[in-house]
Amino acid sequence: MKQSKIKYFLLCLFLTILIVGLFEPFYFSSNTFKSIWRTSFNTEARIDIENRGTSSNNTIQILSPIKYEKPNWCKNDKGSCVVINEVVTTKWHTYKIKFQVIKDGKISIILRGPDKRDKNNLKYPIIVNYNNLIMNNSHIFDNEIKIWHDKPYKYIFSAQNGDIIEFQITTKKHVFQLSDLKDIYHFNTMIFLSIFILSFLFSYKLLQYISKFKILEKNSITDIVFLFFLIILLFIPITHISNVNKLKQENRLPAPFPNFFIKNQINQLYGKEFENWFNDRLFGRMFLINLNDMIKYKINNIYQNDKAIKLKDNMIFNKDILNILSQPIPLEKLEKIVRNIQKLQEFTTKHNIKLYIMIPPAKEDVFFDKIPFYKNNTSQKKSIIDGLVDYVHKNKNIKIIYPRELYLKEYNDFLFFKTDHHWTEFGAFLGYQKLLINIKKDYPKISILKEKDFNIFYHNLPRLGSFKNLFERHFYKGSDCQRIGLFHLCPLNDQYKYYNYKEKENLHIENGPIKMSRKTHYKNGIDKNVTLLGNSYGGFLMEFLPYNFKNVQMLRVNNEEPGIKNVYEMKRFEKYILDFKTDILIFYLPSSDIYEFMNLYTKD
């Protein structure tokens, strides 16, 4: 009897919670649960610095070696601002920022959280903790505050043209507190209690009424009621069928609605196809996927799907690339690759162009030892690209630069982004130096840049190889996060090294002749025209190479031009190479794209 009462009470409580959840907007602000969830995984803090005065020329010049943006949305006839995104972790970390004021004005230092929005473009809070703001050795506040994007902390003061301001601020990832319910989410206790009590009374009476319909004397009333609500739960997934047109986390399209008849015959696979359609659209699907991912992630911090593997150190590997690099290149394909490389050299020789072919190693090419079940079938000291390079060097007078041995010597986790397939700027810098060592043999006047020639800054996010405008490459979480299906749990706790050349302001940049291409002019470089031809890895090399040569042209092979079936076809680029009066052609593709060499010339 006692167990029956407990079960009855639990059923009543369960139904009460369901009803209270339906009335969430009445006692909470919108997206409360999403906000709490996303805040627990947030790794970003945002600092805006504004200069508002009498003209649009009022601005800020950052003097610290940090990454910042000058967005167009904050420019007006009274000035502009800079936006700084910094990393937050579970421990307090202090950031020091130094800047110069350009034109007299009111300076605002605004501490925020990141700008996050739902599918209806409504913002929801991502909370960040700040502490100990010090401005030019004066304490502004030294207590802990919690803020989000739309409830920022502002410190405003007047400054004159040329003033140099230095401040420091301490940040930390926010951990949920009960006080957040009132401070951030506007939790209304009276309305909540009213809804809860009414829901409980309703549930109690409803269960009491349903119990009267007991038809089997040997069965417990609560068992029948429990089964009743279990059946109700089965209908929850169909209460809202999603019309989403892409499953972003899985990077695929949802299954289409099946046809019952195909060519006047009953579709024998209708049941399976309908199940796939329904599974991609059921109510609460993303919540269940995220919950499953979180449990796996928290238990063993290792995860894989059919596209990628995430290891305990948070390094994510692309399975397609692993499969390519773990199998020897078939002889027929090897010969086709070599023939195309030879044709490329014939083209450059004909037009008196010096050719350098570079194959940057992929992350999966360097870190095979981290994945024992994907170890190279031949030798851990040799990769399939080593075999290609040896074959070319023995049979053809062609130089291929493949710096895998250098990467193995410099072996560390910061050669490649953990959550993206590209090399880091540190990895690219090592590749650049290896490339220039080879070019210097033919052009002795070249000076190879060293780290002391750059302002170094650090960021926890990977950087795209493509440029979002003439000057900037975008920071993002990394393509492998999407590939592994853990985008919301993407590990972003590392600090990657980035390079800004100290004389960058002397570099002239303009758009190139085709989409996603660019040209640079540097008056202090040696008087040679260099064309850099390849894929997104070139964006990283463009942080270094333009400062060695007077004119550099970067051409992107996979440049998203419409209507082109074979983007790697060399005939597409020969005109641009010759029009630029190229002296040096640097052709590069990473080892993960080794078979794309077969597409340079498709007709033998």
Locus of tokens 């840049």: 449
The two tokens of residue 204 are 């109690």
Q: Do residues 594 and 359 make contact, with C-beta atoms less than 8 angstroms apart?
A: yes
Q: In angstroms, rounded to a whole number, what is the distance separating the alpha carbons of residues 36 and 34?
A: 6
Packing angle of the helix pair 221-234, 189-211 (nearest 10 deg): 120
Q: In angstroms, rounded to a whole number, what is the distance separating the alpha carbons of residues 430 and 449?
A: 11
Q: In angstroms, rounded to a whole number, what is the distance separating the alpha carbons of residues 517 and 392?
A: 30
Distance linking the first and last C-alpha atoms of the chain: 86
134 CB neighbour count, 10 Å cutoff: 17
Q: In angstroms, rounded to a whole number, what is the distance separating the alpha carbons of residues 537 and 209?
A: 69
* Alpha helices (H) in 31-188, listed in sequence order: 32-39, 179-183
What is the reported pLDDT for 19? 81
Dihedral sign, Cα of residue 473, residue 478, residue 479, residue 482 = negative
Q: In angstroms, rounded to a whole number, what is the distance separating the alpha carbons of residues 565 and 567?
A: 6
Q: In angstroms, rounded to a whole number, what is the distance separating the alpha carbons of residues 522 and 552?
A: 9
Q: What does pLDDT average to in each consecutive run of 10 residues of the chain (604 residues)? A: 68 82 74 82 90 87 84 87 87 91 93 84 88 90 90 93 93 89 82 87 78 55 65 68 69 81 84 86 75 68 75 84 86 92 94 95 84 52 83 80 89 86 94 95 94 91 77 81 68 86 90 89 95 93 95 89 83 95 96 93 79
Alpha carbon 582 to its chain's center: 35
Nearest of 62, 159, 47, 48 to residue 106 by alpha carbon: 159
What is the reported pLDDT for 153? 94
The two tokens of residue 591 are 């080892």
Beta strand pairing status for 400-401 and 354-358?
parallel
- Residues with Cβ within 8 Å of 600's Cβ and at least 6 positions away in sequence, in order, are 340, 341, 343, 344, 568, 569, 570
The two tokens of residue 530 are 């260099």
What is the reported pLDDT for 65? 78
Residue 27 one-letter amino acid = Y
* Three-state DSSP class for residue 514: coil
SS3 labels along 515-561: CCCEEEEECCCEEEEEEEEECCCHHHHCCCHHHCEEEEEEEECCCCC
Q: Do residues 541 and 508 make contact, with C-beta atoms less than 8 angstroms apart?
A: no
Q: Which residues pair with 534 in a beta bridge?
A: 556
Q: Do residues 546 and 499 make contact, with C-beta atoms less than 8 angstroms apart?
A: no
Residue 2 one-letter amino acid = K
Beta strand pairing status for 164-173 and 93-102?
antiparallel
What is the reported pLDDT for 256? 87
Residue 252 DSSP code: B
- Residues with Cβ within 8 Å of 421's Cβ and at least 6 positions away in sequence, in order, are 318, 321, 362, 363, 479, 480, 592
CA distances to 8, 250, 294, 312, 408 from 299, rounded to whole Å, are 34, 22, 8, 11, 32
CA distances to 99, 534, 593 from 585, rounded to whole Å, are 40, 11, 19
Beta strand pairing status for 507-511 and 518-522?
antiparallel
What is the reported pLDDT for 581? 96
Q: In angstroms, rounded to a whole number, what is the distance separating the alpha carbons of residues 571 and 304?
A: 40
* Three-state DSSP class for residue 589: coil
Per-residue pLDDT tens digits for 308-367: 888 877 888 888 888 888 888 998 999 999 999 999 999 999 999 999 999 999 998 888
The two tokens of residue 348 are 């450059």
**Torsions phi, psi for 169 (to 5 deg):** -140, 145
Per-residue pLDDT tens digits for 66-105: 778 888 888 888 899 999 988 888 889 899 999 999 999 9
What is the reported pLDDT for 376? 45
What is the reported pLDDT for 217? 47
Report, in angstroms and rounded to the nearest whole number, the Rg of the chain calculated over CA atoms: 30
Q: In angstroms, rounded to a whole number, what is the distance separating the alpha carbons of residues 108 and 193?
A: 42
CA distances to 59, 236, 336, 541 from 231, rounded to whole Å, are 63, 9, 62, 60
What is the reported pLDDT for 379? 44
What is the reported pLDDT for 180? 87
Q: In angstroms, rounded to a whole number, what is the distance separating the alpha carbons of residues 18 and 24?
A: 10
Locus of tokens 């167990």: 3
Residue 69 DSSP code: B
What is the reported pLDDT for 126? 92
Per-residue pLDDT tens digits for 545-580: 999 999 999 999 987 677 778 889 999 999 999 999
- Residues with Cβ within 8 Å of 288's Cβ and at least 6 positions away in sequence, in order, are none
What is the reported pLDDT for 374? 56
Nearest of 5, 507, 49 to residue 208 by alpha carbon: 5
Dihedral sign, Cα of residue 27, residue 31, residue 34, residue 40 = negative
Residue 196 one-letter amino acid = F
The two tokens of residue 355 are 């050719």
- The 10 Å CB-count burial string (b at 16+, else e) for 477-503 is bbbbbbbbbbbbbbbbebebbbbebee
Q: Which residues pair with 97 in a beta bridge?
A: 167
- The 10 Å CB-count burial string (b at 16+, else e) for 401-422 is bbbbebbbeeeeebbbbbbbbb
